[in-house]
Copies of this chain bind each other. A is one copy, B any other.
């Protein structure tokens, strides 16, 4: 075994393929005889010294990770602030790293995680502790800077496009006497990437989705209702895809309009789709159905994109190679080298170019009328949902997802009083 341990940690909302990245990391590290610990529940496990010994997992389990959704070691929503504000936590991290001879820290997450990895690397340098910090990209929101796309997005995008295509066939069959409008709520609070992916489900103005509502365009209720009516009159039904993050011109989130409190002061959880469905029903009188897929869209490994799975594995493998090559404070990213045929390779980005930036959905990707995607958007999006990468199924008709043992190594430090 080479000297120095690698610590891998998952952060933020999980995806259908973040475990594929974990599988890529562990497989590559095993090939290079590097010991891999994984933090339980993300950075919290590192602070609490709750570290999983991945060498206890079988080769079959690590292969199985590549087709298992969720976050196999646990993730967390826990953001470290600046080194000044959270100095004790950063120092604790370094203590834990030292205690377990961690010389490589791989943080698998979005831009917050890139920021944390970057800060840890600076503090390690300040303390003269030799540590290579690598950010590993992950988010279904596709809002990470520098990288052409982000592992996790392609599979959620494929789920979205396939689901919208299927539900639209249902609505088309029912529209004559029943449901005429269907509203699908997509994740992606600040950027319209996932809602846009639904646009791949159809071609031309008469194919679903007929209307996409992007967070990048102000929601204009009167115009929206007019468009719905126009589509129903022309096509017979209307499929709407709305991003959860749509806002009115004055910056109010539409999602906050649905829900609220009922007359007894109890919480009513709503959302964009339920709000829009109510408006369509009241204003136009059409029968409406709506869906909120929520976590289903980011955990649907059964309909993962092969491109996405391949890229998730590749960034894991590259992260280990970057770490061993001492490429501190960098992130392996996806570089698109050709649209047609689609080709990509692994590139690299300095963490400070990724940290706390948000890649917005380009203006040129939204159709002039504001309710659909352009050909440019299709050219970008389509390769990302290409290919099927089915998990194996058991005789019981269910996917064989793996559960790890997650055996923790013995603690060496006093309990963290964080």
Contact = CB atoms under 8 A, between A and B. Distances in A.
Interface of A: 10, 13-14, 16, 41-42, 44, 68-72, 74-78, 158, 161-163, 165-179, 182, 200-201, 258-260, 262, 266-270, 274, 277-279, 281-282, 288-296, 298-303, 305, 307, 382, 385-388, 390, 393, 395-399, 401
Given A176-B76, A201-B398, A268-B270, A70 B295 contact: no
B279 A274 contact: no
A295 B171 contact: yes
Contact of A69 (B170, B259, B267, B278): B170
B388 A393 contact: yes
B294 A290 contact: yes
Contacts of A200: 396-398
Contact of A386 (B70, B76, B169, B396): B396
28 contacts: A14-B174, A16-B166, A42-B177, A44-B176, A68-B169, A69-B166, A74-B173, A74-B175, A74-B176, A75-B173, A161-B397, A162-B302, A165-B398, A166-B296, A166-B299, A167-B295, A169-B299, A182-B295, A200-B396, A201-B398, A266-B278, A267-B282, A268-B270, A268-B278, A290-B292, A291-B295, A291-B296, A385-B396
Nearest to A154: B397
Interface pairs A-B: 5 shortest CB-CB: A70-B169, A71-B173, A385-B397, A166-B299, A291-B294
Contacts of A76: 174, 176-178
A260 B170 CA distance: 26
A296 B368 CA distance: 30
Contact of A70 (B10, B170, B277): B170
Contacts of A289: 294-295
A179 B71 CA distance: 13
Nearest to A262: B260
Contacts of A13: 174
A63 to B, nearest CB: 17
Contacts of A303: 302-303
A299 B167 CA distance: 6
A259 B163 CA distance: 25
B77 A166 contact: no
A386 B390 contact: no
A315 B78 CA distance: 54
